[in-house]
């Protein structure tokens, strides 16, 4: 039995599936959220002191551009914190990944009885099923992980050699791993 996939890596849906399924994205989103909140708090503290000093000296509040810069920084970091908190971090990562991907880059993956063969224009990689750590169904794509943030996206629409149910059973049988299903 052999299953084959042809996945365009510059496709936004492929990038979305990878970023949503990646464990590193959730960890990085938490770090980004904390960092944005900390920067917003620092800007707010500086602005509070800045306004206090201006009122104490009876000077115009925004007499130099530094106060305006910190005010804009406060707004920027609050908006960034809110966007990441709202769950848009995976979408941001997907868009950046797609932008940095060479146009038309695609990979072919064959899953055979012996193992997995991944082929890109300059790369050919073979792996045994024991190398897989997670199997993720990310809606329009499957993602086969070999590390927490390293995986191969497989476009379900390009599946040949059987249907999705057969492929899922085949992979569970070969790896012994359960399929993780992400909400659409």
Are 25 and 19 within 8 A, CB to CB? yes
Model's pTM, two decimal places? 0.64
- Class of residue 156 by CB neighbours under 10 A (exposed 0-12, middle 13-18, buried 19+): middle
Q: Which pLDDT score is estimated for 167?
A: 93
Residue whose entry in the numeric block shows the structure tokens 């050919």: 124
Q: Which pLDDT score is estimated for 168?
A: 93
Q: Which residues contact 41 (CB under 8 A, 6 or more apart)?
A: none
Q: Which of 169, 181, 171, 168 is nearest to 131 (CA)?
A: 171
Q: Which pLDDT score is estimated for 128?
A: 92
Q: Which pLDDT score is estimated for 57?
A: 85
What is the C-alpha to C-alpha distance for residues 6 and 18, in angstroms, rounded to an integer? 15
The answer to whether the Cα torsion of 66, 72, 74, 76 is positive or negative is negative
């Amino acid at each position: 039995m052999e299953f084959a996939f042809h996945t365009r890596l510059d496709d936004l849906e492929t990038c979305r599936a990878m970023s949503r399924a990646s464990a590193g994205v959730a960890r990085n989103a938490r770090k980004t959220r904390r960092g944005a909140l900390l920067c917003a708090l620092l800007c707010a503290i500086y602005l509070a002191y800045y306004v206090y000093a201006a009122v104490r000296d009876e000077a115009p509040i925004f007499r130099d551009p530094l106060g305006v810069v910190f005010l804009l920084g406060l707004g920027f970091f609050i908006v960034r914190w809110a966007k990441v908190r709202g769950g848009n971090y995976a979408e941001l990562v997907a868009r950046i990944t797609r932008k940095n991907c060479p146009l038309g880059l695609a990979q072919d993956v064959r899953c055979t009885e012996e193992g997995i063969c991944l082929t890109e224009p300059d790369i050919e990689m073979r792996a045994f099923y024991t190398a897989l750590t997670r199997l993720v169904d990310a809606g329009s794509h499957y993602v086969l992980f070999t590390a927490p943030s390293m995986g191969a996206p497989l476009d379900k629409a390009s599946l040949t050699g059987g249907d999705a149910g057969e492929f899922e059973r085949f992979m569970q049988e070969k790896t012994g791993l359960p399929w993780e299903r992400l909400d659409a």
